[in-house]
Homo-oligomer: A and B are copies of this chain.
Amino acid sequence: MNDILKADLNALKVLDVLLDECSVSQAAKRLHVTQPSVSYTLQKLRDLFDDPLFVRNPRGLTPTSRAESLRPAIKQLLSDAQQLIAPPVFVPEEAEFTLSVSANDYLQIALIVPLVQRIRALAPKVKVALFDLDSKAAAERVRGGELDLMLSFPQALPADFSSEELFTDPYIAAARQGHPLADQQASAESFLGYDHVIVSPTGFAFEGGLFRDLHHSPLLDKVAVTLPNFAVLPSLLAASDLIAMIPRRLLSVMSGPLSEVKIAATMPSITVAAAWHPRLDHDLAHRWVRNLLRAEALLA
- With a 10 A CB-CB cut-off, give which of A13, A80, A85, A88 has the most chain B CB atoms: A85
A104 to chain B, nearest CB (A): 26
Which B residue's beta carbon lies closest to that of A162?
B55
In the assembled complex, how far is the CB of residue A218 from the closest CB belonging to chain B, in whole angstroms? Answer: 47
B9 x A86 contact (CB < 8 A): no
Asked if A77 lies at the interface with its beta carbon under 8 angstroms from chain B, I say yes
* Residue in B10, B69, B283 whose CB lies within 8 Å of A64: B283
Q: How far is the CB of A75 from chain B (nearest CB, A)?
A: 11
**Given B2, B52, B85, B278, which contacts A55 in the complex, CB threshold below 8 Å?**
B278
Residue of B5, B65, B83 near A283 (CB, 8 A) is: B65
A:245-300 near B, CB below 8 Å = 277-283, 285-286
Q: Which residue of B lies closest to A32 (CB)?
A: B5
Q: Which residue of B lies closest to A2 (CB)?
A: B85
- A20-60: which have CB < 8 Å to B? 31, 48-52, 55
The complex is assembled from copies of this chain, and their number is 2
Binary flags per residue of A225-238, CB closer than 8 Å to B gives 1, else 0: 00000000000000
Who on chain B is nearest to A45 by CB? B85
**Residues in B whose Cβ lies below 8 Å from that of A277:** 55, 62
- B64, A280: Cβ atoms under 8 Å? yes
Task: Report chain B residues within 8 Å CB of A285.
Answer: 65
Residues of chain B within 8 A (CB-CB) of A70 are 84
Collect the chain B residues with CB atoms within 8 Å of residue A82's CB. Answer: 4
Q: Which of B50, B81, B83 lies in contact with A9, CB distance below 8 A?
A: B81
Chain A binding surface, main DSSP class? helix
Q: Is A215 an interface position by the 8 A CB rule? A: no
Let me know if A214 is at the binding interface, CB within 8 A: no
Asked if A140 is at the interface of the complex by the 8 Å CB criterion, the answer is: no
Within the complex, what minimum Cβ distance (angstroms) separates A57 from chain B? 8
CB of B2 within 8 A of CB of A48, answer: no
Contacts of A74 in B (CB 8 A): 84
Residues of A within 8 A of B (CB): 2, 4-5, 7-10, 12-13, 31, 48-52, 55, 62-66, 69-70, 73-74, 76-78, 80-88, 277-283, 285-286
A sample of 13 cross-chain residue pairs with beta-carbon separation below 8 angstroms, ordered by A number, consists of A4-B82, A9-B10, A49-B85, A50-B87, A55-B278, A62-B277, A64-B280, A65-B279, A65-B282, A66-B88, A74-B84, A77-B81, A80-B80
Known: A62-B277, A70-B84. 9 other contacts (CB 8 A): A2-B87, A5-B31, A9-B9, A9-B13, A10-B10, A12-B81, A48-B85, A50-B87, A65-B283
